[in-house]
Structure 1
Amino acid sequence: MRLIALISALLAPLVSAFELPANSSQCIVGIAEGWNSSNVTLTVYEKRKGKWAATGAPWTGRLGKNGLAWGLGLHPNPKEATLKKEGDMRSPAGVYDLGGAWGYDKSIQKNAKLPYRQITSRDLWVEDPQSPSYNRNILLDREPSTPWEKKQQMKQNDYPQSLKLFISHNAPPRVVPNGGSSIFFHIWRGEGSRATAGCTTMQEGHLRRLIAGVDPARRPVYVLLPKAEYDVRRAEWKLP
């Protein structure tokens, strides 16, 4: 019995190698039917008295055209896992902190502590894996002039991109070249008839309510997984 107890004690740190941050009490959960699904069901949870509870009914969204691949976030990736790459048209599976909100409007409804930047023509988000500024926002001191700068512009007169919330996949300060960039929540296309290049999209009203409810003081995270993976990892990772 002592030997069994000793082995259990030694293995415990390995079995519980990852779980949601202890200070996180707000979680957006996205569940896809499988690794190749571009459809997702989204639910917001909040922790109350140590237990997760949904704050409302779930809603539907869209993911990458080719489904999901493990991304670079808070979670550990399985050995030999297929990881997200730039241009693979897959959304990053895993657990992610949320960054600030971005949009075309001068102001939006949001928590006072959530950063918001009104996007201008001088705002770039670099999707070029060869650039030292890969997956980062750059603010030019002049209007974009080169083809490269214009390609990286955040404001493209594209309404679905007019409001977005950053999902911290492959985010600074540890950015992996070609690991995937520019992953956001934003407005869906074609009333949900079109998949994405890797972002999570939804109806505008749901996005605005999501952003308005995000409270940075509660360490909000996004959990995106295929259903089978979620079921396997739910208890170990202490997911909602």
Structure 2
Amino acid sequence: MRILLLILALAGHVVAFELPAPSRQCVVGIADGWNDSHVTLTAYEKRGGQWQKVMGPWPGRLGKNGLVWGAGISPAEGQRTKREGDGRAPAGVFRIGGAWGYDATIQKDPKLFYRRITSRDLWVEDSKSPSYNRHVVLDHEPATAWERKQQMRQNDHAHSLKLFIGHNSPPQVVPGAGSAIFFHIWRGGGSKPTAGCTTMPEEKLRQLIAWIDPDQQPLYVLLPKAEYARLRAEWKLP
């Protein structure tokens, strides 16, 4: 009987989530609440086992409808999760990926992926496509309405520089769970919310991209203030 009880106890035990130990760069975004489209951003580095602030805080904007739990490396703490077109930014912990932009070159770590966007670069937001939430490069100029709709280059300054946030990212992309989540330049000097991305002043975005070091396994933590306070110790957040 004791052995059976021990097996049942072990089966029911769930290892708590915490930030991966090798991650030594972290951007933290805090919103006042789930329905708030404003965010305060701060960058941290882990030194001697402790998180230390290195940049910020600075303001940013989120989805027009606020936040909802996303598909990153952290568990979703609620039943409601990010869906395509819901106008909400994904909350949780996410890996930070490569950069895309209109400039021929940008200031960045040599190891950070950067691609200069051409008319043939697509980011697929069609949840019915097998390339959903993936970067695709055409071998021809866009010829159909569908191809033109997926183009990354839209002659839009807000999207002239962006840094990928690993929500619902390959290889485990779930159709309809949200796509094309980036850090990018805000609109109207911060007067306008987004469809789900995190935006900020251009100079802050360029500073952030220049700071990111892929070897440090950078992360983005985005949470409402109350959730951050509740999970900070358990998840070992900055």
Aligned equivalents of 2:11, 2:215: Cα separation in 1 = 33
1:176-212, CA deviations, whole angstroms, 9 ceiling, x for partnerless residues? 0000000000000000000000000000000000000
Partner of 2:76: 77
Amino acid at match of 2:56: A
Unaligned 5+ runs, structure 2: 1-5
The answer as to 2:155 corresponding to 1:169 is: no
Aligned equivalents of 1:17, 1:141: Cα separation in 2 = 46
Aligned equivalents of 2:225, 2:68: Cα separation in 1 = 13
The alpha-carbon deviation at position 96 of structure 1 amounts to 0.3
Residue aligned with 2:147, SS: helix
Aligned equivalents of 1:37, 1:10: Cα separation in 2 = 40
Partner of 2:64: 65
Partner of 1:185: 183
User: Normalised by the size of structure 2, how large is the TM-score?
Assistant: 0.94
Amino acid at match of 1:58: P
Residue aligned with 2:56, SS: coil
Unaligned 5+ runs, structure 1: 1-5
Amino acid at match of 1:67: G
The alpha-carbon deviation at position 17 of structure 1 amounts to 1.7
The alpha-carbon deviation at position 10 of structure 1 amounts to 5.8
The answer as to 2:30 corresponding to 1:36 is: no
Aligned equivalents of 2:77, 2:201: Cα separation in 1 = 32
1:127-178, CA deviations, whole angstroms, 9 ceiling, x for partnerless residues? 0000000000110001001000000000000000000000000000000000
The alpha-carbon deviation at position 11 of structure 1 amounts to 10
1:19-45, CA deviations, whole angstroms, 9 ceiling, x for partnerless residues? 001100100000000000000000000
Aligned equivalents of 2:61, 2:52: Cα separation in 1 = 23
* Aligned pair partner of 2:144 in 131, 143, 146: 146
Identity of aligned residues (%): 67
1:54-106, CA deviations, whole angstroms, 9 ceiling, x for partnerless residues? 00330000000000000000001125x21000000000000000110000001
Partner of 1:46: 45
The answer as to 2:16 corresponding to 1:17 is: yes
* Aligned pair partner of 1:131 in 129, 132, 139: 129
Partner of 1:3: none
Give the superposed CA RMSD. Answer: 1.5
Aligned equivalents of 2:140, 2:10: Cα separation in 1 = 58
Aligned equivalents of 1:103, 1:135: Cα separation in 2 = 17
Aligned equivalents of 2:130, 2:44: Cα separation in 1 = 36
Partner of 2:234: 236
* Aligned pair partner of 2:199 in 193, 198, 201: 201
Structure 2 CA distance for partners of 1:58 and 1:86, relative to 1, 3 Å: same
Structure 2 CA distance for partners of 1:78 and 1:104, relative to 1, 3 Å: same
The alpha-carbon deviation at position 13 of structure 1 amounts to 5.8
